[in-house]
Each structure stands twice: as C-alpha cells, then as structure tokens.
Amino acid sequence: MDYQQLLTANFLRYTAIASQSDAAITTLPTSQGQLKLGQLLCDELKALGLCAIHQDENGCVTAFLPGNRSGAAAIGFCSHLDTVDVSLSPEIKPQLIHYTGGDVVLNAKQNIVMQLAEHPELNAYQGMDILFSDGTSVLGADNKAAMANIMAALTIVVTENRPHGDIYIAFVPDEEIGLRGSKVLDLKRFKPDYAYTIDSCALGEVVYETFNAGSVTYHIQGVTAHPMSAKDQLVNPLLVAHDLIALFDRQQTPEHTALKEGYWWFNGIQADALNCTLQMHIRDFDKVNYQKRRDFVATAVAQIRKLHPRALIDYTIEEVYENIANNVDVNAAPIAKLYAALDSLGIEAKTYAMRGGTDGSCLSARGIITPNYFTGAHNFHSRYEFLPLPSFEKALQVTLQLIATA
C-alpha cells in the first residue's frame, strides 16, 4: 500500500470541508463544517467496520475497534475537527508541489510567495513532494493531518488484518478556542488506557509539557459627562484600562518570552464612553507560578480600584487548560512507548515544551495520559504552513508502531 498516496487522498478529502471554529459562538460545535466533517468520518469508520460509532450533540465523534491480540493495552487517538481562525479564508485550497529549492509561488494571481530567506526550514525538503496552501488560508494540517493519519492507520490495520489491542478513536470540535470539545468528550465512550494526540509540527517533535492556561475578562464601568462639565466628574474607562495594563510587566509578554517562560497577553478590548471590556491570557508552565499570576490579577484590580474609586471594576478568570506534565510522570509508559516507537523507526526525538495546549492537556487532567507527537508539518496557523509527504508518512509509521506495541 502506498502510504503517501493514502495520506494525501485522506487529507485532500478532509480539507475540502471548511471547519474553522468561531470563538464568538458559545454552543458546540461552533461551525456547521465541523458537524459535516464528523459525519463524513463516521461514514468512513463504519465502512472500515469499527464499532460504537457515535456523533453526539456537541459534535464529538467516537469509535472503537476491538482488539485481536490478547494482553495488549487499550490505546486511543484523538484529533480535533476545527481549523484555526486567523483572519484568513476558511476555505482551504491545498496544492501538491515538488520542491526543487528557492522561493515557492503559492498564488501567482495574488502574488503570494513563500520566500526561502524568510523560511529557511524549506531547505531541508529539497527534492520532496510537499503540500502547501494557495496562500489565502492556512493549510489545515493542524489538525487534518492527524485525521488523515489516524484514518490511514485504521485502514492499514483493518485491511491487512494486523495484530492490535483495543483501539479507541475520538474526533473533537473547537480545540483551537479553548479545547472545548475534549472538555465535554464522553469518557464512557472514549476509554483507552492511554491516548495520543498528533498535533505537533516538524518530524520528531514530542510534547508532554504544555502551558497552564487561564483567560481573564475585565469589566470596567466609568462615569460619563459632557466635556464642558467633565472636570472631576468624568471617569474614562479606556484610561482606567490603560492604567490596569500598565501594572503588568511588559517584559512578560509573548513577544518578549520564549522556551518555558510564562507571560501575560492583553489580546482584546471593546469600549465606549461608559464601558470597557478587556481580555487577557495568562500562561505559565509552572503551576505555582501560574497561581501567582492569578493572584496578581486580584492585586492589580485592587490597586486600580483605589486609583479610580468611582469606577466599577470587576473580573472573571476562566481555567482553559493545564500542563500535561501536571498529571503525567515523565517516565510514564505511554511516553516511553512513544520514544521507543521513534527510536525503532530511526526518527530523532525532538522533545520540547509546547507554548500552547493540546486536547491532551485536557484529557490528561481528566485521567487519560495523552502525550503528543508530530504531524510533520511546519508553520501552523500561517498561510505559509506546509507538510512534506515523507514527514507525513513517518508520522503514520509512528502511529502504526504505537498500535503494534500497545
């Protein structure tokens, strides 16, 4: 069986369905495309002969392949259905290009060119077939490459009657906007001994550390007054917000931090003469430091209330996800099995702490150890996202090896 051909066919079929999530919507899933994609996956799972195929009211798809090998652990694989909204087109138009070096013209009509000088990572893939977008959208490898991988692995295992233990599958909505799907995933339907997400980038990447993540919303109500009589009367909520923002260290923001450094990120504001709503993200790998950041939010608000006693200032904190490592020992068997799979395939492991989160952050907190490994793609959340087919195939080989050694 031609693995690259199988993976590519799967990927093109899934990217043909627009499934961008929408943070402005509170019901699940936040886009009809995710439901449509889930229905397609249900049909394909049924055709492969899986059992207990179910799409619930939240759009979560679950399925089960009973084992044919005794003594094996029950393994799970999870992928998210949505693609990210970064103000590009939700419609994905992938293209397969044989890369011979230099710049890549993604879209001649719109003059969208991926320049090698800005993306030297391309150099490693000369002479390879690579999936690119047409420059008007992300490619969608995050996370449709994982869907293609999982479905290809199931196809191979079933059609070749390979030995395997119980395999549980989950496709969940709205990971990109707070892991919403994995938070409501029915663990009576998805109940492996451990699981994996396939939601990292380049060949060899392994993740079992993610941020602890919170989202803060500040509500500020000022006092309106006509400018002719505003002295000592008007309280401008925008200036109150300015004073609040100024209390947070500018060197602890995304643009000034790297590796395992945490940050604050003010990333949204809506305001008029009376009211201001301000959004901020809190991120930290260390659970104690994360709590200190939460505590500082309360300290900052108390200080601003004293500075502006006539303003009404309130805030809420939503826990978004937590570090996988909070709930997983580095020596846990699923992580050891992942490293062993890479080693057996001659793939150099590149372990890093992800400055973000995966569905595994949520699932690990819910009791299912779920580390993460690579799709093979580069530049997630960008019009310059690309996926070399040899790396795509290596990710599939890892999935097959994990199934074989569960």
Distance CA 33, CA 381 (A): 18
Stated as kind and residue range, the H or E segment containing 41 is helix 32-47
Count of other CB atoms within 10 angstroms of residue 295: 10
Stated as kind and residue range, the H or E segment containing 292 is helix 287-307
| Residue 257 near residue 274 (C-beta atoms within 8 A) | no
Distance CA 50, CA 46 (A): 6
Q: Catalytic: 205?
A: no
| Residue 362 near residue 179 (C-beta atoms within 8 A) | yes
| Residue 217 near residue 238 (C-beta atoms within 8 A) | no
Q: Name the E strands within 165-233.
A: 167-172, 194-200, 205-207, 212-221
Half-sphere exposure of 272 (CA within 13 A, CB side): 3
Order of strands, sheet of 95-98, starting from the edge strand that comes earlier in the sequence: 95-98, 129-132, 386-388
Per the structure block, which two tokens stand in for 119?
Answer: 């993306």
Residue with tokens 């492991």: 349
Distance CA 169, CA 53 (A): 9
CA 104 to chain CA centroid, Å, is 26
Q: Could you say which of 134, 142, 166, 175 is catalytic?
A: 175
Distance CA 158, CA 297 (A): 53
Q: Could you say which of 82, 199, 322, 385 is catalytic?
A: 82
Residues with Cβ within 8 Å of 347's Cβ and at least 6 positions away in sequence, in order, are 203, 204, 394, 398
Q: Which of 253, 260, 255, 258 is nearest to 281 (CA)?
A: 253
Q: Given the DSSP bridges, would you call strands 167-172 and 75-80 parallel, antiparallel or unpaired?
A: parallel
Q: How far are the Cα atoms of 204, 240, 269, 274, 367 from residue 172, in angstroms, in the given order?
A: 24, 40, 29, 40, 17
Catalytic machinery residues: 82, 175
